[in-house]
């Protein structure tokens, strides 16, 4: 890809990439570092990455960079530690989207990532599998479990409200 | 297979269990008639049997499951259908099944609505450091040829300027221009266009002697005139000729080393007290029309092209236009004169004299570029 295409990828994908990482790790500084590191890796491979594949390359690289960071800092969320019944809250919710984003933070990391890639970026199961390194079946299972959790979460919130 | 006294036992077992077909049953009956001793043995076989004991399991009801009153689509299947609908994965059969289910059990519509609400909507997040991520195109990759040639041209233009500056500061190399006054010819007409002759001093004297006053009676050039003409005295003495001119104006031309200027252009650019009306005459090129007036740009173009294209046999026409390659070529030639620097810019032409490509060659770098038509 050319330098112009590289710069265009910054305009087109850096916001979505930043949102994806920020929603996963909830640390703006670290999210920015990951984005810069991701684009630095892209720059080093500018000769081999085509403009058609650049979005997939960016998300794949950013996802794995994030996973590496989480593992280093031991931030990885243990699926078993997620208490799906701890829905109690006292804040007033402004809209459904806010409720959903609070709910998504309670999801295990894998489920959260695949649902965000699916909803935010519109990736197919196969593309999500390539980005995350999961199988397509695993992606479907994670999406299924994640949706079920979100449905139950907002159902309980709505019943409270 | 025929029943014999050697194999009758297996047939007896099948006969008693009723698994023999009708043809074999007939054969068995015939065999028993012909062997009465074996018939008695078969009767004894019939008396050996274990009757089933009347035992029953009394806790059957505890093992039974309660039959769900919901329809045959279980909860998991319903969830699956809802999520598949949200993801756009339902086929037509599943779509119909879900629609039918919602008709039969409208209370489940709320569950479907909840599933449909789980679709995340992107929050307006903007990455703040886009400017830091962007890169500038390396000059070497794409515009290398343009920049390198431009740099070479710039260098040589600077060198040329410095060379001119040194001429300003060195009186021995001053060039002068003599403007002849309006003269009356033998037929009584007055020349409207005075001519300017600009040369180095020794050559100037020759020009003056040969062109302007070739037939004048020999005399003596007044010293004051010589001084005014800025002509070295020794030169005059060496020539050994006296010059008599009708009030020649001698103008020290320190402006450029361009030897030709049009009168019109010159009038526009200077009104100095040391300069008068200057009309250029193209003197160098033999093939030019005498008395042709050129613009300043054309003069520069001709001079440059005459210097550059002298070694370009393929170049034709457009002598009055300066192209980028002319400037670049001049620059490269100038730089290549510096000891230790060897570079050149070659141009290639087709049969029609049209530029087809150019190539830059140096010790450390070489490239060529085809000219798009």
High-pLDDT (> 70) share of chain B, %: 45
More confident site: B274 or A28: A28
A3 → closest Cβ in B83, B128, B135: B135
B118 → closest Cβ in A4, A32, A151: A151
Q: Choose among B281, B273, B284: nearest CA to B251.
A: B273
What's the rounded Cα separation, in Å, for the pair A115 and A125?
A: 10
Instruction: Tell which of A1, A10, A102 to mutate to test the B interface (max B CBs under 10 Å).
Output: A10
Quote the radius of gyration of chain A (alpha carbons, Å): 17
Q: Give the torsion sign (CA, A130, A132, A135, A136).
A: negative
B137 → closest Cβ in A3, A22, A101: A3
Could you report the per-residue pLDDT of B334-360, keeping only the tens digit for each? 777 766 677 777 888 887 778 788 888
Structure tokens at B322: 């300066």
Q: Which residues of B touch A100 (CB under 8 A)?
A: 117-118, 120-121
Could you report the per-residue pLDDT of A43-92, keeping only the tens digit for each? 888 888 888 889 989 999 999 999 888 887 765 454 444 444 444 444 44
Judge residue B361's burial from the number of C-beta atoms within 10 Å of its C-beta, 0-12 exposed, 13-18 middle, 19 or more buried: middle
Q: Which pLDDT score, from 0 to 100, does residue A22 have? A: 87
By C-alpha distance, the chain B residue nearest A37 is B133
Could you report the per-residue pLDDT of B288-301, keeping only the tens digit for each? 444 556 676 677 66
Q: Which pLDDT score, from 0 to 100, does residue B105 have? A: 83
Instruction: Tell which of A5, A151, A157, A160 to mutate to test the B interface (max B CBs under 10 Å).
Output: A151
Q: Which pLDDT score, from 0 to 100, does residue B322 have? A: 63
Q: Which residues of A touch B135 (CB under 8 A)?
A: 3, 6-7, 43
Please report, for residues B36, B137, B176, B267, B271, the alpha-carbon distance to residue B168 in angstroms, rounded to integers and kept in the order given: 154, 42, 12, 22, 20
B133 → closest Cβ in A14, A19, A154: A14
B127 contacts A18? CB cut-off 8 A: yes
Q: Quote the minimal CA–CA distance from B103 to chain A in Å.
A: 21
Q: Which pLDDT score, from 0 to 100, does residue B139 have? A: 52
Q: Distance between the two ends of chain B, CA-based, in angstroms?
A: 99
| pLDDT surpasses 80 at B108 | yes
Q: How confident is the model at residue B22 (pLDDT cuts 50, 70, 90)?
A: confident
Q: Which pLDDT score, from 0 to 100, does residue B219 have? A: 44
By C-alpha distance, the chain A residue nearest B120 is A119
Q: Residue B347: in which H helix or E strand, if any?
A: strand B343-349
Q: Which pLDDT score, from 0 to 100, does residue B347 have? A: 81
Could you report the per-residue pLDDT of A101-142, keeping only the tens digit for each? 888 888 888 899 999 898 888 889 999 999 999 999 999 999
Q: How confident is the model at residue B111 (pLDDT cuts 50, 70, 90)?
A: confident
What's the rounded Cα separation, in Å, for the pair B290 and B284?
A: 10
Q: Which pLDDT score, from 0 to 100, does residue B127 have? A: 86
- The answer to whether A115 faces chain B, any CB pair under 8 Å, is yes
A100 contacts B120? CB cut-off 8 A: yes
Q: What angle do CA B124, B127, B132 make, to 5 degrees?
A: 160
Number of Cα atoms under 13 Å in the Cβ half of residue B370: 3
More confident site: A20 or A84: A20
Average pLDDT, chain B: 65
Q: Which residues contact B307 (CB under 8 A, 6 or more apart)?
A: B330
Counting one residue from chain A and one from chain B, the pairs whose CB atoms sit within 8 A come to 86
Q: Which residues contact A32 (CB under 8 A, 6 or more apart)?
A: A18, B127, B128, B129
What's the rounded Cα separation, in Å, for the pair A55 and A9?
A: 8
Q: Give the torsion sign (CA, B280, B286, B292, B293).
A: negative
| pLDDT surpasses 80 at A149 | yes
- The answer to whether A93 faces chain B, any CB pair under 8 Å, is no
A15 contacts B125? CB cut-off 8 A: yes
């Amino acid at each position: 890809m050319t330098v112009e295409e590289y710069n265009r990828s910054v305009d087109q994908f850096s916001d979505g990439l930043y949102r994806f990482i920020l929603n996963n790790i909830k640390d703006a500084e670290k999210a920015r570092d990951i984005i810069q590191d991701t684009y630095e890796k892209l720059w080093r491979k500018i000769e081999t990455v085509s403009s058609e594949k650049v979005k997939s390359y960016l998300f794949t690289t950013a996802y794995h960079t994030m996973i590496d960071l989480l593992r280093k800092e031991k931030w990885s969320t243990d699926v078993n530690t997620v208490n799906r019944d701890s829905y109690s809250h006292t804040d007033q919710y402004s809209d459904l989207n806010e409720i959903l984003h609070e709910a998504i933070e309670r999801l295990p990391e894998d489920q959260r990532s695949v649902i965000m890639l699916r909803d935010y970026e519109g990736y197919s199961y196969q593309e999500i599998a390539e980005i995350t390194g999961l199988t397509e079946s695993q992606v479907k299972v994670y999406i299924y479990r994640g949706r079920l959790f979100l449905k139950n979460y907002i159902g309980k919130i709505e019943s409270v409200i | 297979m025929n029943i014999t006294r050697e194999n009758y036992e297996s047939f007896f077992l099948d006969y008693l269990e009723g698994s023999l077909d009708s043809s074999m049953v007939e054969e068995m009956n015939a065999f028993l008639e012909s062997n009465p001793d074996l018939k008695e043995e078969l009767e004894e076989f019939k008396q050996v049997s274990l009757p089933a004991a009347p035992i029953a399991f009394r806790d059957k009801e505890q093992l039974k499951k309660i039959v769900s009153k919901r329809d045959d689509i279980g909860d998991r299947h319903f969830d699956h259908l809802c999520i598949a609908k949200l993801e756009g994965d339902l086929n037509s059969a599943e779509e119909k099944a879900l629609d039918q289910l919602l008709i039969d059990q409208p209370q489940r519509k709320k569950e479907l609505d909840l599933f449909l609400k789980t679709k995340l909507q992107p929050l307006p997040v903007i990455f703040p450091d886009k400017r830091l991520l962007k890169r500038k195109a390396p000059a070497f990759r794409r515009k290398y040829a343009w920049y390198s040639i431009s740099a070479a041209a710039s260098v040589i233009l600077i060198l040329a300027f410095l060379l001119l500056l040194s001429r300003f500061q060195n009186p021995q190399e001053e060039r002068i221009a003599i403007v002849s006054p309006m003269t009356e010819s033998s037929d009584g007409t007055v020349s409207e266009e005075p001519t300017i002759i600009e040369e180095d001093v020794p050559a100037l004297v020759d020009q003056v002697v040969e062109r302007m006053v070739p037939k004048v009676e020999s005399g003596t050039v007044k010293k004051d005139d010589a001084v005014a003409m800025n002509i070295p005295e020794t030169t005059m003495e060496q020539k050994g000729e006296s010059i008599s001119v009708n009030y020649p104006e001698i103008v020290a031309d320190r402006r450029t080393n361009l030897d030709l200027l049009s009168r019109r252009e010159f009038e526009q650019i200077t009104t100095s007290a040391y300069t008068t009306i200057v009309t250029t005459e193209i003197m160098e090129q033999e093939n030019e029309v005498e008395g042709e007036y050129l613009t300043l740009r054309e003069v520069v173009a001709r001079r440059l092209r005459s210097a550059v294209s002298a070694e370009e046999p393929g170049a034709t026409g457009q002598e009055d236009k300066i192209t980028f390659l002319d400037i670049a070529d001049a620059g490269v030639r100038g730089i290549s004169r510096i000891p230790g620097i060897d570079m050149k810019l070659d141009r290639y032409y087709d049969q029609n004299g049209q530029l087809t490509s150019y190539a830059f060659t140096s010790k450390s770098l070489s490239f060529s570029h085809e000219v798009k038509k």
